[in-house]
Amino acid sequence: MVSFRLSNKTASPSIKLLVDDPIVVNPGEAITLVCVTTGGEPAPTLTWVRSIGALPEKTVLNGGTLTIPAITSDDAGTYSCIANNNVGNPAKKSTNIIVRALKKGRFWITPDPYHKDDNIQIGREVKISCQVEAVPSEELTFSWFKNGRPLRSSERMVITQTDPDVSPGTTNLDIIDLKFTDFGTYTCVASLKGGGISDISIDVNISSSTVPPNLTVPQEKSPLVTREGDIIELQCQVTGKPKPIILWSRADKEIAMPDGSMQMESYDGILRIVNVSREMTGTYRCQTSQYNGFNVKPREALVQLIVQYPPAVEPAFLEIRQGQGRSMTMSCRVLRAYPTRVLTYEWRLGNKLLRTGQFDAHDSTEYIVSSLSRDSYGIYNCNIINEAGAGRCSFLVTGKLSKVLAMSFPAKWCFLPERMRTKAF
């Protein structure tokens, strides 16, 4: 229950923030947000919330003041101060915290677009593109160097920055009519005008040995056979200079990769999967990306992965009650297994091996006891086995009293343990 005195001074809350919007800071700095009330009767209470997720654990709150020490990129976002005094609607004021960052520096080389040849050749055009993710993007600046010396735009060396809406954070260097003297190392340097963040430098070598990529799969690497729960590495060998980033995806199904994404990147051509599951069986595609390589038609190859897993069987456990002298049939059925071509079975009573064999066209195996004796009772196990392991059906076989015998003994016999009743007979 909330109660307060109603008077002619009663009013809904109003507040203001004593901070800029947005607030742009460098990582590691401490940031303080101050929220003050400008009206409201009774006096409103102030709280801070974040638009996405909870406030950082390191946040220090003191009334309307919020302090984040040593801020990181993960702490960026919209923060709101909310005032409430249960009169009218709560008041809310927000500000956006932007943490400066430079990340994911990449490049790609585009051969002369007016020729179908993917190679770089003397006398033709070649374009080097450089891309960086920057926060905030409007502070991003680029500079170009050749062999450590600053480059300026000229008739043969044209430096441009692409439309931010088309390709954000990208700059291009067009070399017109490539000459032998143009061979060398070109460096793209990305900086933020605000400072406080280390620059990103990307080196691109242009020479006679700069060639487009080629992608192959080692013969012994496809198909790959592994067992469920193991660690497996799928491999594609990439050659060329420079070697591009390799993109991995499922080739046979429109489903996510093991990390939950539709594509996974690899810098060495290896896709490592931990704790392989049967759902990961299938064909995987590796292909060259334009990043850190040539902006040409992707080269691709396929790798087949086969995941073996033990048989799944039913029933996992079943109790059977049957009297002595009666017959009994137990059946163990295979639901799924891989591989299925070498399924074998073995029936055991305790440690005693009763029967073994291989499956034919059927998906189940039976064991029949024609006449139960005292030695026939116990736990029967049927193990269905393949290369990956075994599945097991278990049957607990116990005796039971016939109706005629049960009626001929005093009622107290019904309360004796079953093993004593069996022994008495």
Is 56 a member of any domain? yes
Give the pLDDT mean for 366-395: 93
Q: What single string gives the DSSP state of each residue in 137-168?
A: GGGEEEEEEETTEE----SSEEEEE--TTTST
To which residue do tokens 């064991």 refer?
367
| Average pLDDT estimate for 157-170 | 82
To the question of pTM greater than 0.85 for the whole model, the response is no
Domain assignment of residue 417, yes or no: no
**Residues near 51 by Cβ (< 8 Å), separated by ≥ 6?**
77, 78, 79, 80, 94
Last residue of a domain, one of 289, 309, 329: 309
Are 387 and 324 found together in one domain? yes
Residues 6+ apart with CB under 8 A from 17: 33, 34, 35, 81, 93, 95
Residue 69 lies in a domain: yes
pLDDT tens for each residue of 100-155: 999 989 999 999 888 888 999 999 999 999 999 999 988 999 999 999 999 999 99
- The predicted structure's pLDDT at residue 420: 39
Same domain, 93 and 121: no
List C-alpha distances in Å: 301 to 51, 89, 235, 236, 263: 44, 61, 10, 7, 15
Count: domains in the chain:
4
Residue 403 lies in a domain: no
Q: Give me the domain span that covers residue 85.
A: 11-99
Q: Which of 108-122, 367-381, 396-410 has the lowest mean pLDDT?
A: 396-410
Where does a domain end: 179, 209, 239?
A: 209
CB distance 233 to 246 below 8 Å: no
Is residue 1 one of the residues assigned to a domain?
A: no
Q: Which pLDDT does position 401 carry in this prediction?
A: 53
Q: In a 10 Å sphere around its CB, with 0-12 CB exposed, 13-18 middle and 19+ buried, how is residue 43 labelled? A: exposed
Question: Tokens 């000229």 label which residue?
Answer: 154
Give the pairing of strands 364-369 and 328-338: antiparallel
The mean predicted confidence, pLDDT, of the chain is 88
Q: Tens digits of per-residue pLDDT, 179-208?
A: 999 999 999 999 998 778 999 999 999 999
Residue 88 has pLDDT above 50, yes or no: yes
List all residues 6 or more positions away from 48 whose beta carbon is below 8 Å from its beta carbon: 33, 35, 55, 59, 61, 66, 79, 80, 81, 82
**Domain end among 278, 293, 309:** 309
Same domain for 84 and 182, yes or no, is no
**Within a domain: 423:** no
Q: Give dist(CA 412, CA 144) in Å, integer.
A: 100
CATH number at residue 24: 2.60.40.10
Same-domain pairing of 201 and 120: yes
